Chain A
């Protein structure tokens, strides 16, 4: 960092994560009983919780919790394009993902990092194929995401949150988009990986002695009901054989369908509450 941030309260010039001074501990991908570290089987997903309407001033908002991953999403617009930007007949999507400084085991500096920008870009590209852009000419839709905690499968959670918030904001889409992530390790596919599992893979990538082991992660954002399933986003890292990729995509599709039903249920419950409130208001006015 060249210039010091003058708008925030600054701590000491240098501070390090205390984990550097901790004795190194050997971790294995599976625990002693050959199950995943959190006790799941390879095909098990984490617990998910979805809700809508937590940001009062936003057009649409959502909160998604997958295991320890917690993200909230706010959608604003469609509104006039800000002056100075290029004129376009179709809608422009602005995406911004912001990781909270405390969302990872090592503190992140509060200014936007590379990961924030990378995820914003990926999410923007995905949402541009989900929103019916021609419906909102000359306007802009803002999708903001705050990451409270990264517990693994972050991009997938962001995609689900964005899809749910866009639906809550009544923005026309081809279908609701949901995200899922799959991890490939030692010839087995693990659905919905946690951060510990992802970190293990990231370490394997850096280790130069570990050339033989195949591993990889696949994140998919898809619209399950649009033309019998359309993929809006697919990001693969690491190395997998092509047929493994196909298998991973199938597993991710299954998870997406499950999540899609959950999203639908959340929205239905929300509508029921609104209808109930309206009914009570009318009855209250009558009496």
Chain B
């Protein structure tokens, strides 16, 4: 064990604070700097659309599986989008096997709220025959390596996978009341907006950490997630309790998030082109 590791083991708070005092984090980043993002689409051939996303060491895979369902009586003209995030004990020792924990539930809910509030998909587009046949898109996100900030990584993975989706054409024969699905997958989804989230860990009143690692998350005392659409409009802001933030700080975080949207969307678009 080196002296540094001993220090980290015995005085983790002091060790961490010393880094912050010189405006750096243990991984060498400045406080408001994001980690490099790598996006690869079409990584799972069994899914209708898929993407693997890395934020530094954090790795998540999203696969979209399309199935056919009957629209509900309430909304006979709408299809379904069902996002779920799985945090298996494989990706970090903090998770247990069995039913999803609080964090996984929170992440699933977050993805669903963003998809709805940003209006990513028009559910009516997913309905093929009203009251009879509609698509149900299961967007399952699996975390491979947990090193903090699965919020942003999961959303980027879902967005990249949705943009990769190709559905087969469904034709409906009204006379025989029979539907057939083509063998070739040709139809892409109509993506209405492309929201990107930016997560910050709140360490103290003056110190916020962008794109936190697992260590940053454990040292901080609250998170704020800002979701901005590609036109610069704010569509979702998530601040579940924790340390209070002054409104001026929040404003600056929103500005930072807005700057990042274009860049990440370019990365996703580039990943999509590489496959075609």
Chain A residues within CB distance 8 Å of chain B:
5, 7-12, 14-19, 21-23, 25, 54-58, 61, 68, 70, 72-74, 76, 96, 98, 100-105, 107, 110, 142, 144-146, 148-151
Contact = CB atoms under 8 A, between A and B. Distances in A.
Nearest to A111: B99
Contacts of A55: 90-92, 144-145
Contacts of B91: 55, 57, 74, 146
Interface stretch (B18-26, B63-71, B187-195, B255-263): B63-71
Given A54-B144, A72-B144, A12 B46 contact: no
A268 to B, nearest CB: 23
B46 A16 contact: no
B142 A148 contact: yes
Given A54-B59, A57-B146, A151-B45, A9 B83 contact: yes
B80 interface: yes
Contacts of A11: 69, 80, 82, 136, 138
Given A21-B179, A55-B144, A107 B138 contact: yes
Interface in B92-150: 92-94, 97, 99-100, 104-105, 108-109, 112, 136, 138, 140, 142, 144-147
A18 B50 contact: no
Nearest to A150: B46
B89 A144 contact: yes
Given A9-B109, A9-B112, A102-B140, A18 B67 contact: yes
Given A15-B68, A22-B168, A145-B90, 18 more contacts: A9-B83, A9-B109, A11-B82, A11-B138, A15-B136, A17-B68, A54-B59, A57-B92, A57-B146, A57-B147, A100-B63, A100-B142, A102-B44, A102-B65, A144-B88, A144-B89, A149-B45, A150-B46
B67 A107 contact: yes
A12 B80 contact: yes
B158 to A, nearest CB: 12
Contacts of B68: 15-18, 21
A162 to B, nearest CB: 12
B61 interface: yes
21 contacts: A7-B100, A8-B100, A9-B84, A12-B80, A14-B69, A22-B180, A55-B90, A56-B145, A57-B94, A57-B214, A76-B93, A96-B97, A98-B88, A100-B142, A101-B84, A102-B140, A103-B63, A144-B97, A148-B43, A148-B61, A148-B142
B183 interface: yes
Contact of A110 (B70, B84, B94): B84
A18 B144 contact: no
Contacts of A5: 99
A151 B108 CA distance: 27
State the 3 A-B residue pairs at the shortest beta-carbon distance, nearest first: A102-B63, A144-B90, A15-B69
Contacts of B93: 57-58, 76
Contacts of B237: none
Contacts of B144: 54-55, 72, 146, 148
A76 B105 CA distance: 24
A12 B88 contact: no
A149 B93 CA distance: 23
A233 B112 CA distance: 43
B209 interface: no
B72 interface: yes
Nearest to B179: A21
Given A18-B67, A96-B97, A104 B146 contact: no
A74 B108 contact: no
B1 to A, nearest CB: 14
Nearest to B64: A102
B138 A104 contact: no
A9 B82 contact: yes
Contacts of A74: 89-91
Contacts of A22: 168, 180-183
A7 B46 contact: no
B47 interface: yes
B66 A149 contact: no
Given A22-B182, A100-B63, A110 B136 contact: no
Contacts of B147: 56-57
A18 B108 contact: no
Interface centre among B46, B57, B83 (most CB of A within 10 A): B46
